[in-house]
Amino acid sequence: MKKILPALALGPIMAISLQAAENKNFDYHADQFADIEVLRYEVPEFNSLSLQQKKMLYYLSQAAQAGRDIIWDQNCRYNLQLRPVLEAIYTGYDGPADSADWKAFQQYMKQVWFGNGIHHHYSNDKFTPAFSADFFKAQMAKLPADVFSTDEGQSIDELKALLEKVVFDPAFLAKKVSQDGSQDVILASATNLYDGNVTQAEVEDYYARLKDPADETPISYGLNARVAKVDGKVVEQVYHLNGLYGPAIAKIIYWLDMAKSVAENDAQREYITKLIDYYITGDLRTFDEYSILWAEDTKSDVDFVNGFIESYGDPLGMTGSWEAYVNFRNREASARTEAISGNAQWFEDHSPINPAYRKPEVKGVSAKVITASFLGGDAFPSTAIGINLPNANWIRAAHGSKSVTLENITEAYAMASIGNGFNEEFVIDAPTSKLLDDYLYITDMLHTDLHECLGHASGRLAPGVDQDALKENGATLEEARADLFALYYLPDAKLQEIGVLDNPDAYKAEYYKYMLNGLMTQLNRIELGKDVEEAHMRNRQLIAKWVLEHGKKDKVVELVKRGGKTYVKINDYKKMRDLLGQLLAEIQRIKSEGDYKAGNDLVQKYAVKIDPKLHKEVLDRYATLNIPPYRGFVNPVYNVITDDNGEITDITLDYTESYPDQMLRLSRDFSTLR
Ligand code: ZN
């Protein structure tokens, strides 16, 4: 539950502290198609790492690629049967280059790569192909038999017919993750975390029986398992070496073992050993032991996440999507997050919530700024800009959590946005634009730091409250809580006192962007007529609309018309902060008391519905700008240089690989499950 996704592509938010950018001519743009832009990120300081550290990053990058097929299979059960067919068509096509079908097919291929399957990574909707079924059938007819990975008892013709349905039938597997509480959210979701037979009621009943409400250190039930119905009985198919995804997990273990051989210290060796044990056994107690060791290792510079972690892909929020992050500490920028985490107790004690729900003792919130050096699984190509782990509440309370900000990723977003015309189109006036130019970069970073490092870590539940009590609204309300904590503190004089901000008005840049994004510009990510679905987007709209409505009487924030266009106008930033504090108190109360009804009322009233007129206006205005609403990344290629004996003497990074080449290489080198 604890990651922060980038808000919408914004305008030139430079001015401040883009310290890295080693190479002025670095080409951030890799590809663009449909609603997606693929960027490159630079890995500053890689060349100044020790050979041992470079080796470790390399081995971990291999482990990050080894699990790629897992996320494809988790996302939908047909993804790994479809991918080789699409890729064989893509590489073998010999028809006219200007054919409309072929162009549409290329776009579809790129979309499927980006989604790690047939669904959009963010909206969860199935991609709509713009090429014809006849084109697809004719291309499939040319492919050799070994491209078709049939199931037992399935003929190639049956598989072809099935794939045609998978690609072209809009009602079949329409949504990867459904959050529509009026339906059976499991049966309404195309995700392969459930086998398609088991119902929501059966799954809830299955886990309710396993859970002991008195257990103060519960395992993360269902985190590493597919739930199926076999012979009328609900069973877990656990992901581990000798279970589901075993062949991919074997490769991951191999590379983790290599990484262990060059670990920086004993603490790191110990947690890698635990992680390997967990991958071997699938035992979630071992995973908790690993998580504790990992959270407590704050000394190592090289660090990584590799496993079944975030549960956004599960309609019930239990099973973790497989993901990988490889990174190393950015020492200079970490001074900022250390200043924040070092004052964690102060922030907790001054939080505008019911004191009963404050944490009396904030434990070990460690925070650092990192340089991402490889992204994998669910974190690739679309990635987070901040992560806070582990997710288990009791581990966070007893052993602390690690919070990281991925600065080189944020920087790549910013650099790629220079001169895109966003501010000119959407920001109300020149002084506000100037404010954003001057302070949005740093306040956005601080927002991420505060959200991850303090927001998610703050507060506590009333005794006996189930941490899953908010059900399908849990993720939205948790993200809202963390955002509100960050927003509430951005104007606080404490930030100047601890030296992370130099201007008491800087926060206004983030406030303006937040309202603009939540009320208007994020709608660019949604098709006309649809609701807001994704948890972070729901949270942002919830906060922005709630503030707009509750500040109406005092005209704190308004939507105004100028020249026929709608703009966000903030009249009273101080009162806006008060409102944010009030909403924080209420959402903390909802979480602490497990008040499902109040939480659901808030979400339904503010987070879901969209004014169709405003929506259309935003889409039209965006259309003039050519700013894709979603962005992600290709990884650098690790070049391993060896001597005559095969010993590694150096590792360098190459940033020139194209998006299609990278995706085809991954399928060639890391197809582990089909
Ligand atoms: Zn978050």
Centroid of ligand 1 to alpha carbon of 103 (angstroms) = 38
Centroid of ligand 1 to alpha carbon of 558 (angstroms) = 27
User: In this structure, what DSSP letter does residue 320 have?
Assistant: P
Centroid of ligand 1 to alpha carbon of 308 (angstroms) = 17
Give the residue ranges of the chain where pLDDT is below 50: 1, 8-22
Cα–Cα distance between 129 and 494 in angstroms, integer? Answer: 52
- Is-contact 534 122, C-beta < 8 A? yes
Greatest CA separation found in the chain? 76
The reported pLDDT for the residue numbered 114 is 98
The reported pLDDT for the residue numbered 332 is 86
Tokens 């929501």 label which residue?
Answer: 200
Centroid of ligand 1 to alpha carbon of 462 (angstroms) = 21
Centroid of ligand 1 to alpha carbon of 321 (angstroms) = 16
Interacting residues of 605 by C-beta distance below 8 A, sequence separation 6+: none
Interacting residues of 555 by C-beta distance below 8 A, sequence separation 6+: 571, 572
Centroid of ligand 1 to alpha carbon of 3 (angstroms) = 4
Centroid of ligand 1 to alpha carbon of 482 (angstroms) = 6
- Is-contact 510 544, C-beta < 8 A? no
Tokens 């097929």 label which residue?
Answer: 69
Centroid of ligand 1 to alpha carbon of 661 (angstroms) = 33
The two tokens of residue 595 are 């008040």
Centroid of ligand 1 to alpha carbon of 411 (angstroms) = 19
3-state secondary structure (DSSP) of residue 81 = helix
How many Cβ atoms sit within 10 Å of the Cβ of residue 285? Answer: 11
Centroid of ligand 1 to alpha carbon of 588 (angstroms) = 14
Centroid of ligand 1 to alpha carbon of 391 (angstroms) = 11
The reported pLDDT for the residue numbered 7 is 52
Centroid of ligand 1 to alpha carbon of 360 (angstroms) = 22
Centroid of ligand 1 to alpha carbon of 471 (angstroms) = 17
Centroid of ligand 1 to alpha carbon of 344 (angstroms) = 17
Centroid of ligand 1 to alpha carbon of 579 (angstroms) = 20
Centroid of ligand 1 to alpha carbon of 448 (angstroms) = 8
User: In this structure, what DSSP letter does residue 629 have?
Assistant: S
Q: Which amino acid is at 445?
A: M
Centroid of ligand 1 to alpha carbon of 513 (angstroms) = 18
The reported pLDDT for the residue numbered 5 is 56
**Which is nearest to 276 in space by CA: 292, 301, 259, 297?**
259
Centroid of ligand 1 to alpha carbon of 5 (angstroms) = 8
Cα–Cα distance between 102 and 477 in angstroms, integer? Answer: 43
The reported pLDDT for the residue numbered 344 is 94
Centroid of ligand 1 to alpha carbon of 390 (angstroms) = 12
